């Protein structure tokens, strides 16, 4: 079965799934699309309006029915990936994109209709009263009130399902988009209200723990005038390197020789900067945490965890960071990344035990 998609050569899609959907609904896309845009006027399917979004790189990152109001699809809403998933998934069910009927598709995806039936989705629109509950890194439950009836769905917090790409494609996306990211200046100063004092006497902002006490998001600060700025000096190498890994803030971009450890024992080597990795994680809505594995006078070995709580995955980056960078030497760091590691079926006890063993 062949489909035609009327697009311009400049148009790009984040996933193969979105390319297929655009063809099946025959979207008429403009010559160019702005980054970070939402467009509700490019087409319809079964007389329902289609919503299209682009991401920070300018790629089409979402195609689905228009099912939620602006307050539920704003870029500042951490639930946005889930709202987008529901809009796309209902469209996919109508398209029978992989040749499966809706009931078969739900079974395959482990999406459960816990009240009502999946055909009731056709009654849902952006004015329908809806409630959602998120169990961090585990699942979502969503409920629509349709007059006297309700439609309830249980959706696992599975990054592959919600993003519409399997593990192999996600690795490809990571490699492709990481090299396209333009680092931002990031947040490099803090207000008095955000600062506390740690046990070691350091001024600390953004304290947080992931899995165990040794994996943290603490940022170490010093006051300069009326501003709190990140410590980045040779007198405090470990604290300075943690700061840089968590924020990317430094006097220059730091080159990184990165190996992406992929499925099938495949390893991909890319040359990027540390700031590109940090910015990529920020764009995905990940929170960063750092654990120190080994400290020597000339090098710090650390592990960065980029947690996406909403989509139930994390990236893990193991790095060797030469301390000479802090004194101005033109050195680079080396790293190995393991990306889109699913977390929704892994218990906290498992993490705690495995981390202690290692």
The share of the chain scoring above pLDDT 70, in percent, equals: 89
Residue 10 has pLDDT above 70, yes or no: no
Could you give the CA distance from residue 139 to residue 158 in angstroms, rounded to a whole number?
8
**pTM for this entry:** 0.89
Would you list the domain boundaries of the chain? 16-163, 167-357
Residue 197's pLDDT band, with cuts at 50, 70 and 90, is confident
Q: State the Cα–Cα distance between residues 52 and 40, nearest whole angstrom.
A: 6
Residues 36-91: tens digit of each pLDDT? 999 998 889 999 999 999 999 999 999 999 999 865 544 456 678 999 999 999 99
Return the pLDDT at 150. 97
- C-alpha radius of gyration, the chain, whole number: 22
Report the distance separating Cα 332 and Cα 227, nearest Å.
30
Question: Can you say whether residue 242 is alpha, beta or left, with left for phi > 0 and alpha for psi between -120 and 50 degrees?
Answer: alpha
* 16 touches 165 (CB < 8 A): yes
Residue 270 pLDDT > 70: yes
Q: Look at residue 354 in the predicted model and tell me its pLDDT.
A: 47
C-alpha dihedral sign at 199, 205, 211, 215: negative
Question: What's the chain's average pLDDT?
Answer: 88
The pLDDT, as a whole number, for residue 190 is: 74
Q: Do residues 291 and 318 make contact, with C-beta atoms less than 8 angstroms apart? A: no
Q: Of the candidates 114, 59, 124, which has an alpha carbon nearest to the alpha carbon of residue 90?
A: 124
In the structure, what pLDDT confidence band is assigned to residue 8 with cuts at 50, 70 and 90?
very low
């Amino acid at each position: 079965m062949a489909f035609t998609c009327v697009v311009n050569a400049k148009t790009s899609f984040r996933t193969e799934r979105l390319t297929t959907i655009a063809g099946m609904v025959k979207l008429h896309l403009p010559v160019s699309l702005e980054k970070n845009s939402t467009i509700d006027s490019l087409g319809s399917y079964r007389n329902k309006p289609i919503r299209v979004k682009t991401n920070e790189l300018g790629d089409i990152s979402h195609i689905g029915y228009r099912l939620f109001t602006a307050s539920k699809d704003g870029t500042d809403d951490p639930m946005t990936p889930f709202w987008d998933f529901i809009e796309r998934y209902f469209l996919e069910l109508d398209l029978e994109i992989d040749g499966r009927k809706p009931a078969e598709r739900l079974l395959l995806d482990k999406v459960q209709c816990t009240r009502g039936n999946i055909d009731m989705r056709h009654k849902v629109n952006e004015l329908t009263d809806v409630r959602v509950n998120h169990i961090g890194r585990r699942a979502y439950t969503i409920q629509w009130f349709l007059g006297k009836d309700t439609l309830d769905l249980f959706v696992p917090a599975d990054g592959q399902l919600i993003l519409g790409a399997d593990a192999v494609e996600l690795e490809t996306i990571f490699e492709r988009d990481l090299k396209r990211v333009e680092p931002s200046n990031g947040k490099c100063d803090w207000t008095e209200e955000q600062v506390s004092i740690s046990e070691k006497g350091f001024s600390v902002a953004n304290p947080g723990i992931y899995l165990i006490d040794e994996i943290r998001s603490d940022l170490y600060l010093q006051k300069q005038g009326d501003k709190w700025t990140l410590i980045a000096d040779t007198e405090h190498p470990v604290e300075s390197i943690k700061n840089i890994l968590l924020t990317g803030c430094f006097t220059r971009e730091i080159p990184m020789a990165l190996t992406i450890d992929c499925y099938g024992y495949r390893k991909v080597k890319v040359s990027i900067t540390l700031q590109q990795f940090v910015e990529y994680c920020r764009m995905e809505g990940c929170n960063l945490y750092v654990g120190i594995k080994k400290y020597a006078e000339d090098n710090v070995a650390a592990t960065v965890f980029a947690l996406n709580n909403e989509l139930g995955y994390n990236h893990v980056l193991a790095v060797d960071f030469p301390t000479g960078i802090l004194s101005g030497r033109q050195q680079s760091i080396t790293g190995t990344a393991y990306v889109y590691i699913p977390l929704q079926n892994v218990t906290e006890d498992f993490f705690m035990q495995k981390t202690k063993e290692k």
